[in-house]
Structure 1
Amino acid sequence: MRLLPLLLLLALHLPAAAEPLHFVAFGDMPYCRDATPDGCATAVARVERLMATINARRPAFSIFLGDTKGGGEACTDAILLRALDWMALAAHPLVYTPGDNEWTDCWQRRAGGFDPQGRLALLRQRFFANRPHLGAGRMAVERQDSLPENARWVADGVVLLTLHIPGSNNNRPTLPGERPAITPPEGAEAEWQVRDAANQAWLAEGFAKAARIGARGVVVAIQADIFFAQVCGGGYDSGYAAIRAALATAAAGFGRPVLLLTGDSHVFVRHRPIATAPNLTRVMVPGDRDSQALVIGFDPGGPQPLRLEVIGEAGNPGERPPCAGYAPLMDSTRSG
């Protein structure tokens, strides 16, 4: 009758089954428009209600994928720092990566004609200096020395990292022939070069860590829709080609599931955009007119590795595809 004690002893030495990682991703909100009768109050209130809905789901953490304001809003200190108030409502750790509306586009007249580098310095000082994350709770987060907005952490055997890759061609002036042309102030090319090199280094270090610890999977979170030109058949792309190639190589070499989270184009899409890295799935979160978030269940190696649920308030009207190429991807995401 020694069988039961023996079974109990074996059970103690068996590795525990990995739990699915549950977290939330959202971005591109609130977008406030002059035509709104009460200014920004309605848009901000919708995001505050979304935060309450997210909190009710008790995620391990949430990731905000940039664009805390609309492109037509002035890049004043008050508007850029407005997000601190609603991000503070998170009852869990919240990790934020900046978008183009917060800094790269601030030189435009519609955004008040601010110096983008000065706006980026403000973001780094107020959102990233001397804090591992926003929101409540505690989570061990590493920060890149050269780009403090770049984060990395480990949860349930998954390595997660953010890369500072905003829209508007990643702050790189467009090359001849790219449309629409983007000509940010002097110094943008040099800034892009430094940040692109730092992003590639942080990406390589993240995948190296994943391999070293035997991670079940990797999650990479960025703001920009780096596949817009490929899906839509046109548009600027020179600011994204190098990091997209580095991501493809890193994901293919890792071999296990990789989840890429992006914002920027405001529609919910799930697809596999890199033929050489079939283990990489890109998910783009809704935004702007749709104050919604994605509850993500990521279980690499499980029978259903990726579960996605949309929560929050759809717009009336809601977001439309940014180009014809996105319509079938949106349809397949809804049906799948």
Structure 2
Amino acid sequence: MRRLLLLAGLLGLALPAPYKHALAEPVRFVAFGDMPYCRPEAPERCAAEEGRVARLMAQINAARPAFSIFVGDTKGGAELCTDEKVLRALSWMTLADQPLVYTPGDNEWTDCWQDRAGRYDPLERLALIRQRFFPRAESLGRRPMPLARQAAPTVENARWLREGVLFLTLHVPGSNNGRPAEPGEPGAAGLPGGAAALAEFEARDAANRAWLAASFAAAPEARGAVIALQADMFFRQVCGQGYDSGYRAMREAIAREAAAFGRPVLLINGDSHFYIHHEPLEAAPNLTRLQVPGEADVQAVVVTFDPAAGTPYRFEVIGEAGSPPQRPPCAGYTSSMRSTRSG
């Protein structure tokens, strides 16, 4: 298979799209997020948590994936949003032998306004993250790979192709995607307010939806797609509580693009720290959601994606479960969840 591709390249032959897809192999990559979670009340345990992440990175390297995707939350929500804490992940991400693609979570910036996080300006923290984590059109890791990046300011949004599969990241963090609460919105009392936060959300949400549409349009012959973001956009549908106003437009856009695409789409998120995979969108039955473990469970999911197979995905969890293991955020989330449908 590889020799045929090499021969075609040497002879300058352009393979037709169906033939390219016939030659394509499954893509094997790693998805993880929400770690390390250090706690201010037990600072002596932070080194141990960082050690667990280092051991997980060694396991990821041993698995030899094509690349890894980290779906946000590089620190615990109760940790101060100092430069040291926000940038700490740059050190352990360099342990990745393969390319590592990162999309931000809420603990790094959206929630930094809280007392427990030190009352930092979220927009200033976001500017720092963009400057330090996304200075070039390439991934992190010891062997960076080139990426297409969205124009400033949302340079964190990326896309790339591997074995005919489209991969893209969207900056959709937890805490309602950074959107201030709507009047009377259930569960939204802890969200920040203000015109600046709303303006940032509206601009980024529009940029995310534009990047999603442009990415699918840029790869019309892709045989499958993977969308990675941080937020659990289905928490209210599964658990019956919490805010939702910051996710509606994005969820609808993903359902629309996935349904129009028609081929297997994998949506990866973190945020709720509990491993599940299921089909959450009635309007897009070709979309599967993978929620990766996190917090107490310092684990990653090795994903093998073969869009041509009858069962396109194989998932293998590696790493250390917590003692005790991470609990589900509500009764609706169980490890056997497979086909809960929500709109």
User: Would you say the 8 A contact 1:107–1:185 is kept in 2?
Assistant: no
Distance in structure 2 (CA, Å) of the matches to 1:75 and 1:37: 15
User: Would you say the 8 A contact 1:293–1:310 is kept in 2?
Assistant: yes
Residue 325 of structure 1 corresponds to which residue in structure 2? 332
Segments of structure 1 that go 5 or more residues without pairing to the other structure are 1-11
User: Would you say the 8 A contact 1:171–1:184 is kept in 2?
Assistant: no
Q: Residue type matched to 2:188 in 1?
A: P
Equivalent in 114, 122, 130 of residue 128 of structure 2: 122
Residue 7 of structure 2 corresponds to which residue in structure 1? none
Instruction: Measure how far apart 1:224 and its partner are.
Output: 0.2
Matched, 1:154 2:161: yes
Distance in structure 1 (CA, Å) of the matches to 2:129 and 2:172: 14
**Structure 1 residue matching 2:290: 3-state secondary structure:** strand
Residue 193 of structure 1 corresponds to which residue in structure 2? 202
Residue 312 of structure 1 corresponds to which residue in structure 2? 319
User: CA offsets, 1:187-235, max 9 Å, x none?
Assistant: 1000000000000000001111221xx1110100000000001111121
User: Would you say the 8 A contact 1:170–1:224 is kept in 2?
Assistant: yes
User: Would you say the 8 A contact 1:28–1:67 is kept in 2?
Assistant: yes
User: Would you say the 8 A contact 1:226–1:240 is kept in 2?
Assistant: yes
Instruction: Measure how far apart 1:35 and its partner are.
Output: 3.5
* TM-score, scaled to structure 1: 0.92
Equivalent in 300, 317, 329 of residue 307 of structure 2: 300
Distance in structure 1 (CA, Å) of the matches to 2:122 and 2:181: 16
Q: Residue type matched to 1:323 in 2?
A: C
Q: Residue type matched to 1:156 in 2?
A: E
Residue 180 of structure 1 corresponds to which residue in structure 2? 188
Residue 8 of structure 1 corresponds to which residue in structure 2? none
Equivalent in 59, 62, 67 of residue 65 of structure 2: 59
User: CA offsets, 1:141-171, max 9 Å, x none?
Assistant: 1000031000000001000000000000011
Residue 74 of structure 1 corresponds to which residue in structure 2? 80
Residue 229 of structure 2 corresponds to which residue in structure 1? 222
Residue 6 of structure 1 corresponds to which residue in structure 2? none
Matched, 1:267 2:274: yes
**Structure 2 residue matching 1:169: 3-state secondary structure:** helix
User: CA offsets, 1:6-25, max 9 Å, x none?
Assistant: xxxxxx99765321000000
Segments of structure 2 that go 5 or more residues without pairing to the other structure are 1-12, 339-343
Structure whose alpha-carbon radius of gyration is higher: 1
Residue 46 of structure 2 corresponds to which residue in structure 1? 40
Instruction: Measure how far apart 1:186 and its partner are.
Output: 4.3
User: CA offsets, 1:232-277, max 9 Å, x none?
Assistant: 1121000000010000000000000000000000000100000010
Q: Residue type matched to 1:256 in 2?
A: R
Residue 146 of structure 2 corresponds to which residue in structure 1? 140
Distance in structure 2 (CA, Å) of the matches to 1:127 and 1:93: 14
**Structure 2 residue matching 1:187: 3-state secondary structure:** helix
Question: In angstroms, what is the RMSD of aligned CA positions?
Answer: 1.5
User: Would you say the 8 A contact 1:107–1:184 is kept in 2?
Assistant: no
User: CA offsets, 1:299-325, max 9 Å, x none?
Assistant: 001133100000000000111110111
* TM-score, scaled to structure 2: 0.90
Distance in structure 1 (CA, Å) of the matches to 2:147 and 2:45: 36
User: Would you say the 8 A contact 1:94–1:133 is kept in 2?
Assistant: yes
- Please list every run of at least 4 consecutive aligned residues from structure 1 whose deviation after the TM superposition is greater than 4 angstroms: 12-16
User: Would you say the 8 A contact 1:25–1:62 is kept in 2?
Assistant: yes
Q: Residue type matched to 1:85 in 2?
A: S
User: CA offsets, 1:63-114, max 9 Å, x none?
Assistant: 0000000000000000111100100000010000000000000000000000
Instruction: Measure how far apart 1:129 and its partner are.
Output: 1.2
Matched, 1:95 2:95: no
Distance in structure 1 (CA, Å) of the matches to 2:43 and 2:125: 28
Q: Residue type matched to 2:204 in 1?
A: R
Q: Residue type matched to 2:218 in 1?
A: K
In 2 relative to 1, CA 184–102 (structure 1 residues): closer, same or farther, beyond 3 Å? farther
**Equivalent pairs, count:** 318
Instruction: Measure how far apart 1:183 and its partner are.
Output: 2.2
* Identical positions, percent: 62
Residue 105 of structure 1 corresponds to which residue in structure 2? 111
Distance in structure 2 (CA, Å) of the matches to 1:104 and 1:68: 13
